[in-house]
Structure 1
C-alpha cells in the first residue's frame, strides 16, 4: 500500500502569493488578478480581461520542511477557432531559487474563441491536481510559478508538513509593463519568460504587468502602476499600438507623457526605464493593423502574422516601430532634463535584426524560448549592470 502522508491543508491567501495585485474569491477557490477590479471595470475588452487573469509572474511562495506538495487547480484552456488546443500550461517548482520540477494539469475549463466574430464560450471542466514529490528534507523556500498564459484558479494547497509565507528577502521589487512578449508568449515556462529570467539574474522580485494585446497606454494601467509598490519600474511601449492600429502620431506623444506623468505621481524618484520595441520585420516600416496569416503556416509550424498597412501611410501619422522608437528616444531625452532617473533602452539592443536572422520569430511577432532567454539575459546585463539604470545603490 502506498504511504499516505499526514496532509496539512493551507488556505491560499494573499500572503502566500507574489506577483498578483488582487485575489478574487470564486466558487472553487481564489483567482489571482494582475489588474484590480476598479481597473478591469474601466475596460470591457475581453482580450484584456483574459490576459490580466492569466497569472504571468504570479507564484506561490512559502517556507516549509515538506517533501511532498500537492496543489489543486482549475485551469481555463483556450481554443482559437478551428486551431488545435494549445498545450497544457506549465507549472514551475523552484526550491531555494533553483528549478526543481515542472508539471502540467489536464482537464479544466475550455474557453473557445471564434476568430471570425470574437464570440466566446466556456465549457466547464474538472479540477486537476499537481503533485511534486521527493523534495529535499529540511527547511526550504518553495515557489510554484503559475502558467503565464492559462487562467488558473487555486483550489487547495496540501503538504506533508506545515507551511508559512516565505520571508521578505529584502529584494527590490521590479514592476514591468509590456505586451504579450512581456507576458511570455511562446516562452517555455512561467519562470523562463524574459522578465522572469531577467528578474532572477538581477536578484529582484518581479511584478509582471505584461498584458497580451494590452500595452496600449491605457490610463487605468498607468494608475495601477502609480499605486503599486515598486523600487524599479519599466514600460515597454510600441508593438501593440502598431498591430492594433490604435492611434496616430499626434496622439502618441501626449499619451506617452501622460502615462509617464501618472507613474511619476506615485513613484517620483524610482528608476523608470522606457523600452522601445524589439525588432519585428513586418512592422519596422509598415503600419498595422496586423492579422493572422494562415497561408504562412505549414505542418507543425505556428500560424504567421502579417501587417495590413501601407508604408506610405506613415507620412500621414500612422505608427510604425521605426517611428515609435524615434519618438520615445526624443520624449525620454526631453524629460530626462528634469528627471535624472528616467532612462531609455532601444529594444533592438535586446533583440535586433541580427538576432532575427539567427532566432527568427516563429509567427513573425513573438520570440521563441531561446529568444526569450537571450532577451532576458541582455536586459539583465544592461539594466542591472553597475552603471545601468537598475544598478544596486551600494554597487
Structure 2
C-alpha cells in the first residue's frame, strides 16, 4: 500500500548541517566542504579537492515530528577502469541518537578514473532521492541526524518531510576537531557512523568535525590555518602515513613542519587539549620509506594492494619511515611540554598494533577494514576520553 504524504520542503542551509567548515551554493543546491575556500584556492591537487568535498562526518541535524523524510541529492560516483563497480555511498539515519536506517542514492555524476593512465573523466547524470519512512510518530519532536556518505561527494538538493523541521538545538557537547589521512576519513568503513573517529565521538559524547583527508594529511599550512580558525574544545592530529607514502619530505623538513603546524593551531587555540597521534601499524612502511605505490595486478578482481618503493638504507639520509616519525613526534611533544602542558602524544600502535594486525590484517596493506575501524574507535575512546586521558572531561575546556 502506497502512502501519500503532505510534503513540506525545507531549504538546506548551513544551519541544518554539522561537521562542515563551509557550505557552497551550487546550481543544484548546496555542497558541504571540509576545507574553506581560502584553503582550497592554495592547492591544485585533485586528490585533495575530491577528499575534502567527500562529507566524512557531515550530517543534517534537525528536530521534527515527521514520520517520513525525503532527501534529494546529487552524488558523484567513482568508477575505476578495469575494476568491478564500487558500492553506492551509504547514508545513515539516527533518531534520538540511535542508528535507525541506512540507504543509498543512485544517479548523479560518474567520475571514471583510469589509474593506469592517470586520467579522470566526468559524465553528468540526474539527482537521486533518499527516503526514510515509518519513523516514530507522536506529539514530541525527535532529534534527527542524516549522516552523509564519508566517501562520496554529495550535493544536497532538497529536504522534504511530512511535518515542519527546525535546526537541532545545541546539546552543549564539546566539539572535537580531528585531522588525519584516509584512515581518519573512513577508508573502508561500513558507513559514515562506522569510521573510527565517528565511533570514538559517539562513545565520548562529543560532536565531531572530521578533517580526515584521503592522501591529504601532509602538514599543509592552509590546513593548519583551517584548524586554527575552527572553534573547538578538543583537537587531535594523526600525522605520518601520508608524509611517508607521498615521499614528501625528509627528516630535516619534517621536524620544523610539525612545529610550524602546531604553532599555527596554537595561535587560535592556545590552551585547548591537543593530542598528537602517530601512525597505526602499517608493516609495509614501518622500516621502509616511501613512496608508496598501488599494485594493479589484481585490479580485475577488485583488489588494489599497496607497497613501499623505498630503500630502508635511505633512512641514513633522512628518509622517513613510520618508525622514524613516531620517535620524532614523541620527541617533539616532550620538547614542547614545558611551554604547552595541554599538548599530548599517543602512539598510534595503541589503536592498531602487531596483535591487531595478526588478527585483522590490513586488506590492501594500508587501510583498515570495517571491523578495525570499530576497534580503533573504541580504543581511542578508552585512551582519550576516559579518566586520565587527554580529552577527559574535567569540567570545561578553554
CA contact (8 A) 2:69 2:160 kept: yes
1:226 to 225, 228, 236: 228
171, 174, 178: which one pairs with 1:172? 174
Task: Quote the Cα distance in structure 1 between the aligned partners of 2:235 and 2:209.
Answer: 10
Matches of residues 146-161 of structure 1 in structure 2 within 5 Å?
146-161=148-163
Deviation at 1:10, TM superposition (A): 0.2
Decide whether the 8 Å contact of 2:113 with 2:120 is kept in 1.
yes
Matches of 2:177 and 2:132, distance apart in 1: 30
Which residue of 2 is the match for residue 182 of structure 1?
184
- Deviation of residue 301 (structure 1)? 5.8
SS at match of 2:4: coil
For 1:118-141, what per-residue CA distance to the aligned partner results, in whole angstroms no more than 9, with x for missing partners? 322110011000000000013110
State the secondary structure of the residue aligned to 2:112.
strand
Alpha-carbon distance in 1 for matches of 2:145, 2:327: 40
Q: Distance in 2 between matches of 1:69 and 1:153?
A: 17
Give the number of equivalent residue pairs: 394
Render the CA deviation track for 1:265-291: whole Å, top value 9, x for unaligned: 000010000000000000000001111
Q: Which residue of 2 aligns with 1:321?
A: 322
Q: CA deviation at 1:47?
A: 0.2
Alpha-carbon distance in 2 for matches of 1:135, 1:162: 14
Secondary structure of residue in 2 paired with 1:255: helix
Deviation digits for residues 52-101 of structure 1, max 9, x if unmatched? 00000000000000000000000001123322231100000000111000
- The alpha carbon displacement at 1:293 in A equals 1.1
Number of the residue aligned with 2:336: 335
Aligned position for 2:374? 373
CA contact (8 A) 2:175 2:234 kept: yes
TM-score, L = length of structure 1: 0.98
**Aligned mates of 1:167, 1:298 — CA distance in 2:** 47
What's the CA shift string for 1:23-75, capped at 9, x where partnerless? 11111100000001110000000000000000000000000000000000000
CA contact (8 A) 2:362 2:369 kept: yes
Matches within 5 A, 1:1-395: 2-138=2-138, 139-295=141-297, 297=298, 302-394=303-395
The alpha carbon displacement at 1:117 in A equals 4.3
Q: TM-score, normalised by structure 2?
A: 0.97
Could you say what secondary structure the match of 2:163 adopts? Answer: coil
3-state DSSP class of the match of 1:148? coil
- Structure 1 unaligned runs (5+)? none
Q: Distance in 1 between matches of 2:176 and 2:132?
A: 29
Distance 2:187 2:76 in 1: 16
Q: Secondary structure at the match of 1:305?
A: strand
Query: Secondary structure of 2:211's partner?
Result: strand
Structure 2 CA distance, aligned partners of 1:2 and 1:235? Answer: 49
Deviation at 1:336, TM superposition (A): 1.0
Alpha-carbon distance in structure 2 between the residues aligned to 1:301 and 1:283? 23
User: Which stretch shifts more, 268-277 or 83-92?
Assistant: 83-92
SS of the residue aligned with 1:274?
Answer: strand
